[in-house]
Structure 1
Amino acid sequence: MATYSVAVIVGSLRKQSFSLKVANAFAKLAPPSLKLNVITLHDLSFFNQDLEATPPADWVKFREAIQASDAVLFVSPEYNRSVSGVLKNAIDVGSRPYGKSSFLGKPTGIVVSSPGPIGGLGAALSLRQTLPGIVGPIMQQPEIYLNAVGDAFSEQGEIVKESIRPVLQAYIDAFAVWVDKLKK
């Protein structure tokens, strides 16, 4: 199996966000065939089509990180039954200019989480509605909706709720096989 670079886009800005902890856990659990590049959105400015002719340096840097990857994994919290504004902004920045999406053709995964009982289902559905036509094929199975993640990680980001480890491991292993199948 070849080695593939995966852009892991974290859809939360909070320093102790569950999404960041999940993304970093994936980076530790990933099989050798995946090299995960965790991307936070702290420095990504708002999309404004007026700036498209001369895009800001932060847009260019973000787009280049996506373009350099073989696959993309969105790790998102749920905000008001959808994704965060910062993640939607990143999708807008990365998918432009029209017809030249940096995500285009990249195998894509969606992982959502919530401290609540539904596990971010609304965010996943929102991404599944937004991403087709912008990204490459979206992995359909296994789906992952991490619920009750409030006590799943230590402050240092280590998994402390052991029941979550096999769920994350199964997903990242399946993602690796799926990316390899699509990239061959």
Structure 2
Amino acid sequence: MMSTSDNNRDIEILAFAGSLRKGSYNKALLRAAKELAPESLNIQIFDLEGIPLYNADVEAQGDPKRVSEFKETIREAEGLLIATPEYNHGVPGVTKNAIDWASRPAKKAPLNEKPVGILGASPGMTGSARGQSQLRQAFEFTNSYCMPQPEILVSRAHEKFDEEGDLTDEATRKFLGKYLDALNDWVNKFTGE
């Protein structure tokens, strides 16, 4: 695998949070990722607001505009970064719904062979571990290359972000930087020349 220092090319990453809440810790985590990313990692954040629930009848009539925009941004990106909350010990419907849309059509889905990084923040003690685990299972079906390690599980998120949504916990910031270096290397493994 190439290391970050061996490759100076820019990598386009599409990031999205599996939460619609304005004050979402996972949206804040993506903003921190954008801030802390190595120079070669260009992170663009996509807001899932406006993506309807997946419905094959709707899909048969043509993807809604917001879904088309979402799929196109995935196609244009070299990799994905997903910040998922955890609801009721699992992946939230918002996150899963986005993956369901992006997994279609099956043979030409934008997720096919796409490198993916998953992270998450939660006020709970497990930091979205169960939600991330379920999401990894979905990526097996979509033939996406989900980065196995390192994992980043931001627990007790309410203590690590300030009222403006800035990540203030230095240990978490440092580990997030290391995670992003690993994501850079992971995406290069599949898309580097």
Name the TM tier (shorter chain).
Answer: over 0.9
Give SS of 2:26's match: helix
- List runs of 5+ in structure 2 lacking aligned partners: 1-7
Correspondence for 1:173 among 166, 169, 181:
181
Shift of 1:136: 2.3
Give SS of 1:154's match: coil
Shift of 1:163: 2.0
Correspondence for 1:80 among 74, 88, 101:
88
Shift of 1:173: 1.1
| CA-to-aligned-CA distance 1:133-170 (integer Å, 9 cap, x gap) | 31421111111111111121122222222221111111
Match of 1:10 in 2: 17
Question: Alpha carbon RMSD of aligned pairs, Å?
Answer: 1.2
Contact in 1 for aligned 2:139/2:145 (Cα 8 Å): no
Match of 1:23 in 2: 30
Correspondence for 2:168 among 160, 167, 173:
160
What are the residue-to-residue correspondences of 1:51-130 with 2, within 5 Å? 51-53=58-60, 54-130=62-138
Q: Which amino acid aligns with 1:76?
A: T
- List runs of 5+ in structure 1 lacking aligned partners: none
Match of 2:5 in 1: none
Give SS of 1:99's match: helix
Q: Would you say how many aligned residue pairs link Structure 1 and Structure 2? A: 184
Shift of 1:32: 1.2
Aligned-partner Cα distance in 1 for 2:135–2:191: 22
Give SS of 1:35's match: strand
Q: Which runs of 4+ in 1 moved over 4 A?
A: none
More helix by share: 2
Q: Which amino acid aligns with 1:65?
A: T
TM-score (norm 1): 0.95
Contact in 2 for aligned 1:104/1:134 (Cα 8 Å): yes
Give SS of 2:179's match: helix
Aligned-partner Cα distance in 1 for 2:63–2:186: 33
TM-score (norm 2): 0.91
Correspondence for 1:40 among 38, 44, 47:
47
Contact in 2 for aligned 1:25/1:157 (Cα 8 Å): no
Aligned-partner Cα distance in 2 for 1:9–1:173: 18
Shift of 1:7: 0.8
Aligned-partner Cα distance in 1 for 2:155–2:23: 17
